[in-house]
Amino acid sequence: MRRDHPMPCPDRHDALAELALGTLAGQERSDVLAHVARCHACALELSELSRITDDLLQLAPAASPPVGFELRVVERVLACSTSAPTGRPRRRKRHRLASWRPAAVAALLAAVVGTGAGLLAASTTAGKAPPAASRPVTLSASLARHGRVFGHVRVSSGRTPWLFVTVDDLTGPGSRTVICEVTLVDGTTAKLGRFRLSQGYGSWGVPLAAPADSLRRALLVGTDGSVLASARI
């Protein structure tokens, strides 16, 4: 066999493949994520399988878009960034990211995971486990509101600190977008990004540019600004 590393746990192997493909949700997903966080063999397998699923997308046959495609993209980008110098786009609904970078929190704001698992298009159907899942998790806190637990926030230390959020049952039909905010020990807040919940479930991760121990609280906020749940880290 080619394998020069330990075999993944047989009873987790199916779930690892599904997680790599981004099609695992809910409890199954939380379970295998938690397992991967402490099982090196499974973490390795997950990262290898995730790479294959990434590469599969590159095999999609190419096709020429209608004439004028690039022009229309440019027009749309310009339309939402004409007031750009202050980093405050006009069409906030769709492109709020720039406004999430006030100087006070610039140090915190992080890069989004390259596989797309993060900010950009995260959804329960498609989000993948962040690579950090294989690193030791140093902090974990329940996401709760009025005493009810809706999921967990985990912050891993290491060279690249990570925050990841698992939402297990934030009730509500259909899909909805939630925003993840954090409060730092110095009292400043930062919006780290947004992700999608499907039928109340979802998970999302983001690398942090600030040390893990500088976080005090994490909040899940609805797109209308209402606080849905919070975690004291």
Tell me whether residue 9 or residue 34 sits nearer to Zn ion (CB atom). 9
Q: Which is nearer to Zn ion, 42 or 215 (CB)?
A: 42
Minimum distance from residue 63 beta carbon to other proteins (Å):
4
Q: At what angle do helices 13-21 and 40-58 cross, to 10 degrees?
A: 40
The four Cα atoms 33, 35, 36, 39 give a dihedral, to 10 degrees, of: 170
Report how far residue 177's alpha carbon sits from residue 217's, in angstroms, rounded to the nearest whole number: 20
Q: Distance between CA 107 and CA 110 in Å, rounded?
A: 8
Long-range contacts of the stretch 27-30 (C-beta < 8 A, 24+): 27/168, 29/124, 29/166, 29/201, 29/203, 30/152, 30/166, 30/168, 30/203
Taking the C-alpha atoms of residue 178 and residue 221, their distance in angstroms, rounded to an integer, is: 6
Give CA torsion, residues 119, 122, 127, 128, to 10 deg. -10
227 binds, among other proteins, Zn ion, none (CB under 5 to 8 A by kind): none
CA pair distance 89, 57, nearest whole angstrom: 31
Short-list 233, 205, 213, 189, CA closest to 19: 205
**Segment interacting with other proteins (CB under 8 A) among 30-38, 89-97, 143-151, 217-225:** 89-97
Member of 24, 42, 113, 155 binding Zn ion (CB under 5 A)? 42
Binding mask 157-186 for other proteins (x = CB under 8 A): ---x--------------x-----------
5 to 44: interface string for other proteins, x by CB under 8 A = --------xx-xxx-xxxxxx-------------------
Contacted by 57, from other proteins, Zn ion, none: CB < 5 to 8 Å by type: other proteins
Give me the least distance between CB of 232 and other proteins, in Å please: 26
Looking at the Cβ atoms of 5 and 72, the one nearer to Zn ion is 5
DSSP state of 39: -
30-38, 93-101, 211-219, 221-229 -> range binding other proteins (CB under 8 A): 93-101
List interacting residues with other proteins (CB under 8 A): 2, 4, 13-14, 16-18, 20-25, 48-49, 51-66, 69-70, 72-74, 76-78, 80-81, 84, 89, 95, 97-98, 109-117, 119-123, 125-126, 131, 160, 175, 196, 207
What does the binding site for Zn ion look like in residue numbers (CB under 5 A)? Answer: 9, 39, 42
